[in-house]
Amino acid sequence: MCSSIVEPRTGLQRWLVGRVGPVTAIAIAQLFGTALWFSANSTAPDLMRLWQASAADIGWLTSAVQLGFIFGTLAISLSGAADQFHASRIFVFSALLGAAFNLGFAWLSTGLATGALFRFGVGVCLAGIYPMGMKLIVGWAPDRTGSALAQLVAMLTLGTALPHALRVISTGLPWQWIITASSVLAAVGAGVIHVLGDGARAQTNAPVGRSGGPAAVLGAFRNRAFRAATLGYFGHMWELYTLWTAVPLLIAHTALATRFPRIGVSGMAFCVIGAGAIGSLVGGMLSRTLGSARVALGALAISGLCGLTFALAWRVLPPVAMVVLLVVWGASVVADSPQFSALAARACPPAWVGGALAIQNSIGFAITVASIAATTALLERIGLDAIWLLVPGPVLGVSAFLWTSRRETSKA
């Protein structure tokens, strides 16, 4: 029986493990690494002006990242790389290469076409950051995956919101410097993981040179518990990244931007998206007593209710009520994510965790491409009524999870 903690090999690693804690260190690295994800969205007004781009065009820049992420997660899962190589090494390489692609977007892109190519490269690299961050968590904290993954997703959420904060701080600076700052943060995150390394469980159960391969990874879907968690996760993904993409547009198209001019669109977008970090942490704490399944379903139901309320009442809600609604929506829309991932990780053999989570991410992010494209296109045509498109995701996610789980219970 292996220990869940690796004996630190260097002074820096001893400091990270003993003083900071491995979960906190991974979460910080995830925060910095995922700052690459929405760095382009934080500069949307500049890009729309310089490249004569529409809101739908900015949506396609986001979709380019998602497509790259899908390609990358498929590659590392089906090739077996996610479980054949140490997660820390994949994370470090991906974060550094992603930072380089992000710099290329800032300083070398000349329009939407070249910009989308660089953003696609960023997305490929994020496939080695997000799923490998989850695998690192499983390796370092195998006995508390729900709460530990909640901390990780909280940092992912802050990483997503971080470019909007950088936009507020660096008012007046060229947009390229905001993108560059995201690349610097990703490089720092790579350094943290390089020092920390992998946990004992990852090193024992997924040694270098052994892998389950495509059949093993895809075989995880034969497990009903894994399938139930994944179907719930798919419903969650239909809503999550589209909301994050649309938040600045929702704020700009309501009275909020004029009602709170000092905060501005970027400041409010940071608050709404960043609320998800609090939601994830609260969900992680609740999962210790309520269990991951109840927390995941509860958060998904609340976010679906928020989406329905916005779609029905955005014309009549006063500004303060609108702010409260958006913050609650931002907090709940991501709180279910770590719990679905924890349920999926527990349901499959430890040696397949990396590949199984990567393929789950890959399909989930394929769903986001369709959702982002459809919603941003409709926002151009019919305005905020396009948010009706987000409502089916939570409804189908909750229904699919409950139906699959009950079938498993009835068979047992």
- pLDDT tens for 113-128 read 999 999 999 999 999 9
Q: How confident is the model at residue 366 (pLDDT cuts 50, 70, 90)?
A: very high
**Which CATH number applies to 11-411?**
1.20.1250.20
Residue 111 pLDDT exceeds 60: yes
pLDDT of residue 16: 86
pLDDT digits (tens, 9 = 90+) for 38-52: 788 778 778 888 898
**What is the structure's pLDDT at 237?**
96
The tokens for 136 are: 């690192």
**Average pLDDT of 297-303?**
98
Query: Is the pLDDT higher at 77 or at 128?
Result: 128
The whole-number average pLDDT for the span 333-361 is 87
Window from 191-200, 204-213, 357-366, 375-384 with minimum mean pLDDT: 204-213
351 has a pLDDT exceeding 80: no
* Lowest-pLDDT range of 41-50, 71-80, 384-393: 41-50
**336 pLDDT above the threshold of 90:** yes
Instruction: Check residue 208 and give its pLDDT.
Output: 41
Q: Which of 143-147, 292-296, 379-383, 395-399 has the lowest mean pLDDT?
A: 143-147
Asked if 221 contacts 227 with a C-beta cutoff of 8 angstroms, the reply is yes
pLDDT at 325 (0 to 100): 97
Mean pLDDT of the chain: 87
Q: Across residues 300-311, what is the average pLDDT?
A: 98
Helix (H) or strand (E) holding 313: helix 292-313
DSSP secondary structure string for all residues of 337-368:
HHHHHHHHHHHS-GGGHHHHHHHHHHHHHHHH
Residue with tokens 């991906």: 94
pLDDT score for 203: 47
175-204 confidence digits (pLDDT tens): 899 899 999 999 999 999 999 998 766 544
Residue with tokens 């899962």: 77
Contacts of 251 (CB under 8 A, 6+ apart): 257, 265, 268, 269, 272, 326
The pLDDT of residue 147 is: 87
**pLDDT of amino acid 150:** 92
Confidence of residue 100 (pLDDT cuts 50, 70, 90): very high
Q: What is the pTM of this model?
A: 0.80
Indicate the DSSP class of residue 8: P
> How does 136-154 read in b/e, with b if 16+ C-beta sit within 10 Å?
bbbbbbbebbbbbbbbbbb
In terms of average pLDDT, the best of 97-101, 222-226, 344-348, 378-382 is 97-101
pLDDT for the residue numbered 174: 87
CA distances from 254 to 215, 313, 320 (A): 49, 12, 12
